[in-house]
């Protein structure tokens, strides 16, 4: 087999290969790949740049519209933009009915793999059947057009059914990542005025189960607007059902009418809300609508992943509870009628080779994951991927945080056997779909760079005054509206404007990332410029974690910063001052970590806690997080001229250093 020629056999060989590859500045698309690629004409960028609206309109016309649009972009009231405003369509129709009518009902939509190795092949016809029944069931429960439905489910096919059933009847969904604590679910249901919640009896994680319905019940009482809870039976955990409010998913399906025509909805009808962390303790409800979002995810899924719907098997390893899952597990792949893999479990359960086993088993062609996962696999070693035949792979993708060149090269060499282009895709919950990324048959890649804005996308770097920089380091901005952009923050237009458009006016979307641009115009994302921390590609706000810590009865004050972490990219460090007379020790630290885990979710627990008698503050009392970041990363603190009491720094530095020794 030709592929084996490229198989890296030993750690020493790998080191040599990575050393060699490090010298390569640009990786051209492999000739074999380029020859068959969907997008090969370098003219696409120019054509789209000349007429971006025309470009997006053409993408939109690939969808099924019940009433075709006649207007494309309406930018008369910036930053409130609309796309395809007078058209009507239905997302669930586009993801299901359309393919079934084309004779593809028997095509597998998902190869689902459960934690214990269970397999289910779910076809488009299967989804269509269940989605219609659930949509009718939701209607029977009183859910109508515009009513928000919460979804708190693990990685099981029912989560897709739930999302599409909502889309079918025009009920915006609000999916909460399964790793969040029930308290976070409650908060998100409350602020989004959810009428119903679809959840599960229990969830599995690495051989253990969590009684989700019981936990949800504990916090959900008192929400007057939440009228129904639909419970998927998954682990078979015994769970209490409240009369008149709770119903099992399978019972609801069984008693509902089988046919539910998809409702044609205005293009700007809300499709979903997804809460994401911002600079304050209050998560932002990012609102996406119907026509523009679906246009953007379908076009980017097709072109960035060079999709061949007839033969590709696409696997995005994200959780469906994040935007990556919404766009590239659910809506993009289904709109394009392709076959995906959906995996319930963790990459090391039951064994560290389970991902590679899955790729071999289902013949995955396109594998989309996060840099943190690549680094974990790097740490585990080549022995695990080498146990399996990965020759079905033809394209690799990365998302969520900057991928360091070493991880990029490892991914390319070990998993891609130097045959697969690597697409590093930059985007955000707010952008809805990929914005900066290579077109794999066209764009030469540079390890660590997301390369160029996609056709139809206008990105730029600006200095602090908003002057555009052709090269160098600056703030990343998006200078034209794009179809999948957020429309507002749910219920808070003012915060939408002030978060993204205050700085440079209503036509310049401020991303919140710093970036560098090289002489080829390639973008290199550096990271967030606001108080958002990116742990393993998961977005958390320092303010949110701080407010959870200070709610603990022993805590007087806390400041949370990110430190650089080899595996997770960033990790959370909390500087904590306890109430007078209390001393910090490991036990209190464990208590605080646990407390944060319960209030927000395990992913928000600080990796380390540094006890502080006092925090560095300006004379006006503002905590100087910049100095704490230096301390956490072991750097000499920068400019201290505005610091009220410089003596507090020294002790914190010592404690931070001692912690470094203890953990390494």
Binding site for ligand WT7 (CB under 6 A): 276, 323-324, 399-402, 424-429, 450, 511-513, 525, 527-528, 534, 537, 539
Q: Note whether 438 and 452 are within 8 A (CB).
A: yes
* Residue closer to ligand WT7, measured from CB, 99 or 282: 282
What separation in angstroms does the CA of 397 have from each of 54, 125, 324, 388, 394? 28, 29, 12, 20, 10
606-620 per-residue burial string, b: 16 or more CB within 10 A, e: under 16:
bbbbbbbeebbbeee
* Residue closer to ligand WT7, measured from CB, 331 or 611: 331
* Residue closer to ligand WT7, measured from CB, 181 or 476: 476
* Cα 97 off chain centre by: 27
Min separation Cβ 174 and ligand WT7, Å: 16
Q: Report the alpha-carbon distance of residue 663 to residue 563 in Å, rounded.
A: 14
Min separation Cβ 427 and ligand WT7, Å: 4
* Residue closer to ligand WT7, measured from CB, 228 or 428: 428
Q: Report the alpha-carbon distance of residue 430 to residue 485 in Å, rounded.
A: 6
* Residue closer to ligand WT7, measured from CB, 57 or 461: 461
Q: Note whether 173 and 149 are within 8 A (CB).
A: yes
Which residues, other chains included, contact 559 with Cβ-Cβ below 8 Å and sequence gap of 6+? 542, 546, 574, 575, 612, 615, 623, 625, 628
Q: Report the alpha-carbon distance of residue 325 to residue 339 in Å, rounded.
A: 15
* Residue closer to ligand WT7, measured from CB, 512 or 616: 512
Q: Note whether 555 and 576 are within 8 A (CB).
A: yes
Min separation Cβ 504 and ligand WT7, Å: 17
Q: Note whether 267 and 89 are within 8 A (CB).
A: yes
Min separation Cβ 555 and ligand WT7, Å: 27
Min separation Cβ 324 and ligand WT7, Å: 4
Angle at 132 between CA 131 and CA 134, to 5 degrees: 65
How many beta carbons lie within 10 A of that of residue 599, not counting itself? 20
| 314: β partners | 340, 366
Min separation Cβ 51 and ligand WT7, Å: 27
* Residue closer to ligand WT7, measured from CB, 403 or 414: 403
* Residue closer to ligand WT7, measured from CB, 304 or 596: 304
Min separation Cβ 286 and ligand WT7, Å: 8
Min separation Cβ 368 and ligand WT7, Å: 11
């Amino acid at each position: 087999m030709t592929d084996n020629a490229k198989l890296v056999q030993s750690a020493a060989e790998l080191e040599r290969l990575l050393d060699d590859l490090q010298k390569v500045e640009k990786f051209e698309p492999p000739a074999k790949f380029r020859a068959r690629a969907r997008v090969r004409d370098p003219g696409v960028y120019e054509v789209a740049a000349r007429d971006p609206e025309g470009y997006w309109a053409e993408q939109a016309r690939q969808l099924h519209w019940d009433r075709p649009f006649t207007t494309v972009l309406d930018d008369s009231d910036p930053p409130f933009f609309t796309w395809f405003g007078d058209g009507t369509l239905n997302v669930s129709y586009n993801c299901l009915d359309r393919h079934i009518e084309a004779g593809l009902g028997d095509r597998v939509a998902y190869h689902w793999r459960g934690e214990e190795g269970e397999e289910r092949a779910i076809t488009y016809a299967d989804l269509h059947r269940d989605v219609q029944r659930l949509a009718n069931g939701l209607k029977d429960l009183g859910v109508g057009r515009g009513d928000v439905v919460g979804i708190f489910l693990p990685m099981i096919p029912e989560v897709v059914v739930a999302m599409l059933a909502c889309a079918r009847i025009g009920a915006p969904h609000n999916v909460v990542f399964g790793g969040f604590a029930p308290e976070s679910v409650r908060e998100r249901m409350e602020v989004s005025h959810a009428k119903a919640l679809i959840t599960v009896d229990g969830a599995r994680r690495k051989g253990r189960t969590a009684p989700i319905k019981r936990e949800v019940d504990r916090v959900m009482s008192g929400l007057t607007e939440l009228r129904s809870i639909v419970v998927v039976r998954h682990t078979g955990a015994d769970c209490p059902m409240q009369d008149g409010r709770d119903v099992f998913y399978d019972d609801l399906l069984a008693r509902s009418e089988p046919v539910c025509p998809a409702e044609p909805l205005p293009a700007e009808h809300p499709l979903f809300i997804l809460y994401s962390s911002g600079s304050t303790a209050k998560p932002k409800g990012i609102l996406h609508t119907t026509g523009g979002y679906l246009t953007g995810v379908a076009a980017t899924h097709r072109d960035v992943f060079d999709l061949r719907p007839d033969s590709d098997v696409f696997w995005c390893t994200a959780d469906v509870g994040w935007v990556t899952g919404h766009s590239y597990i659910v809506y993009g792949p289904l709109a394009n009628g392709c076959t995906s893999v959906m995996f319930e479990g963790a990459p090391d359960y039951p064994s560290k080779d389970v991902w590679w086993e899955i790729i071999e088993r289902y013949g995955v062609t396109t594998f989309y994951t996060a840099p943190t996962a690549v680094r974990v696999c790097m740490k585990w070693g080549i022995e695990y991927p080498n146990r399996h035949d990965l020759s079905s792979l033809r394209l690799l993708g990365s998302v969520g945080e900057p991928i360091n060149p070493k991880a990029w090269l490892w991914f390319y060499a070990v998993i891609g056997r130097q045959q697969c282009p690597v697409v590093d895709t930059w985007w955000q919950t707010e952008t809805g779909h990929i914005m900066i990324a290579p077109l794999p048959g066209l764009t030469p890649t540079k390890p660590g760079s997301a390369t160029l804005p996609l056709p139809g996308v206008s990105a730029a770097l600006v200095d602090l005054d908003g002057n555009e920089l052709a090269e160098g380091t600056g703030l990343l901005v998006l200078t034209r509206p794009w179809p999948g952009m957020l429309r507002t923050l749910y219920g808070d237009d003012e915060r939408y404007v002030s978060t993204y458009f205050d700085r440079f006016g209503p036509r310049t979307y401020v991303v919140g990332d710093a970036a560098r641009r090289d002489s080829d115009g390639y973008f290199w994302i550096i990271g967030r410029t606001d108080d958002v921390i990116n742990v393993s590609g998961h977005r958390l706000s320092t303010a949110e974690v701080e407010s959870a810590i200070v709610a603990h009865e022993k805590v007087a004050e806390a400041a949370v910063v990110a430190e650089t972490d080899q595996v997770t990219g960033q990790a959370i460090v909390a500087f904590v001052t306890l109430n007078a007379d209390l001393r910090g020790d490991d036990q209190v630290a464990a208590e605080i970590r646990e407390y944060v885990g319960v209030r927000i979710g395990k992913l928000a627990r600080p990796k380390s806690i540094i006890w502080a008698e006092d925090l560095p503050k300006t004379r006006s009392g503002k905590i100087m997080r910049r100095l704490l970041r230096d301390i956490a990363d072991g750097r000499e603190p920068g400019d201290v001229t505005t610091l009220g009491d410089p003596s507090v720094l020294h002790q914190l530095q010592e404690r931070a250093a001692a912690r470094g020794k203890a953990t390494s």
